Amino acid sequence: MARYQLILAYDGTHFFGFQRQGLKRTVQLELETALRSLGWEGRAVLSAGRTDTGVHAVGQVVAFDLDWKHTEDDLLRAVNARLPADVAVRRVKIVDNHFHPRFDALSRRYRYQIYCSAVRDPLRDRYAWRIWPPVEVDILEAAASRLLGQHDFKAFGSPTKPGGSTVRLVMQANWVEKDDGLFFYITANAFLYRMVRRITFAQVLVAQGIVPLEKFDEAICQSQFFYPGLAEPQGLVLEEVSYSLTSKDEEI
């Protein structure tokens, strides 16, 4: 018996999020169904985090214990052969028996994509949030810079457990223009529930001139109320989860 770590990619369009929810179609349900056909007898796989309905991933991390007599590459091929087309295992490796994808994580990185257009683009709308009126990119960048450092982000999310802390450390927050779109990258030690989507929505309001930048500052630095709202789920991608380096567990 060994503990295996999988790196998963999935298109969240037709999933009710990652976490198992009865018989609803979730990434966890599809993965566990595939693993059971290979002899896995666990109760539930461990994951780095939960993604919401419609949210995508290229770097979700999952771990489970399995008595597997073949190679890691054989396991990758066997699981992928049993998964639907909108989920894929990118990598497999054996890790320490005590490894936990969530509790051992040092940081997580998300990407959010928007584009500015007065008319819909059905192909782009699957993976991006269409914004109109357009945003001022320099204001987006100014807003993102305010996020860096340790702050109480309770204005932008709720703790993952009752009574949990809402303080988080943001190590990266910036916007990049490419391919006729805008990409927001954010890395933190952890995130509150729906924190990235709320922060993205807030930055867009500021960059459209609807809300002054000072209100965004107050929400971050003084934990003051900010206008409610969520960026749409399809623009969000869990890109990477990072861990400390050990002999058996490399950074992802």
| Within this chain, domains 2-104 and 107-240 share the same CATH topology | yes
Q: So what's the pLDDT on residue 36?
A: 98
Fold of 107-240: Alpha-Beta Plaits (3.30.70)
Q: Is the pLDDT of residue 176 over 80?
A: yes
* CA distance linking residue 28 with residue 25, whole number of Å: 9
Q: Is the pLDDT of residue 247 over 60?
A: no
Q: Which two tokens stand for residue 250?
A: 């490399």
Taking only the tens place, the pLDDT of each residue in 138-154 is: 999 999 999 999 999 99
Average pLDDT, the chain: 95
Q: So what's the pLDDT on residue 249?
A: 44
Provide mean pLDDT across the span 171-195: 96
Q: So what's the pLDDT on residue 164?
A: 93
Q: Is 132 helix (H, G, I), strand (E, B) or coil?
A: coil
Q: How would you class 19 by CB atoms within 10 Å of its CB: exposed for 0-12, middle for 13-18, buried for 19 or more?
A: middle
Residues classed as catalytic: 52
Q: Which helix (H) or strand (E) holds 88?
A: strand 87-95
Taking only the tens place, the pLDDT of each residue in 212-236 is: 999 999 999 998 889 999 999 999 9
Q: Is the pLDDT of residue 245 over 80?
A: no
Q: Is the pLDDT of residue 107 over 90?
A: yes
Identify the band that residue 246 occupies on the pLDDT scale cut at 50, 70 and 90.
Answer: low
Q: So what's the pLDDT on residue 163?
A: 87
Q: So what's the pLDDT on residue 218?
A: 95
Q: So what's the pLDDT on residue 180?
A: 82
Q: What percent of the chain has pLDDT over 90?
A: 92
From the DSSP assignment, how many helices (H) and strands (E) are in the chain?
Answer: 5, 10
Taking only the tens place, the pLDDT of each residue in 27-73 is: 999 999 999 999 999 999 999 999 999 999 999 999 999 999 999 99
Residue boundaries of the structural domains of the chain: 2-104, 107-240
Please report, in angstroms and rounded to a whole number, the separation of the first and last CA atoms in the chain. 23
Does domain 2-104 fall into CATH 2.60.120.700?
A: no
Q: Which helix (H) or strand (E) holds 205?
A: helix 195-207
Q: Is the pLDDT of residue 8 over 50?
A: yes
Between vectors from CA 97 to CA 94 and to CA 102, what angle results, nearest 5°?
A: 90
**Whose CA is closest to 127, among 112, 117, 137?**
112
Q: Is the pLDDT of residue 252 over 70?
A: no
Maximum alpha-carbon separation in the chain: 60
